[in-house]
Amino acid sequence: MTDILNIGDEPIFDDRIVKIENHTYNPFANTTFGHSDEIRIPIHEIRIPIQQQDLYTLPHENFLYIEGELRINEPSEGSNVELGNNCVAFMFDEIRYELDGVEID
């Protein structure tokens, strides 16, 4: 039988990951985005491209925090605006996740 389910031995801990960093992206030129604008969020540390670093990324722990303002041009009396679940996903026509220029599913 394999040792993968051997619960009688001491546990083995993998401590090869020494740190995890979170980075905030801020737009370079403008703080607002219009229709058909492309937003690229690069992963850089000390201006060294990720291709030249000895590191692992954890794409399953990534998230986008989108902050904005909802404006109603001509609100009618008694009207309420409610945003449904996952409404931010419908703000984009296309969202792609690329690593080193290769699209990841």
Please check whether residue 13 is in contact with residue 7, taking contact to mean a CB–CB distance below 8 angstroms: no
Looking at residue 52, the DSSP 8-state letter turns out to be G
Mean pLDDT of the chain: 71
Residue 23 has a CB neighbour count (10 Å cut-off) of: 9
Q: What is the pLDDT of residues 16-47, one digit of tens each?
A: 777 777 767 666 665 666 777 777 766 554 45
Residue 67 has a CB neighbour count (10 Å cut-off) of: 4
Over 60: is that where the pLDDT of 104 sits? yes
Q: What is the pLDDT of residues 55-74, one digit of tens each?
A: 666 767 777 777 777 777 87
- Domain coordinates in residue numbering, the chain: 24-66+85-104
Over 70: is that where the pLDDT of 49 sits? no
The pLDDT assigned to 3 comes to: 64
Nearest to 37 by CA among 105, 92, 77, 96: 92
Task: Return the residue matching tokens 């679940």.
Answer: 85
Please check whether residue 96 is in contact with residue 103, taking contact to mean a CB–CB distance below 8 angstroms: yes
Amino acid in position 33: F
Task: Give just the sign of the alpha carbon dihedral 37, 43, 45, 47.
Answer: negative
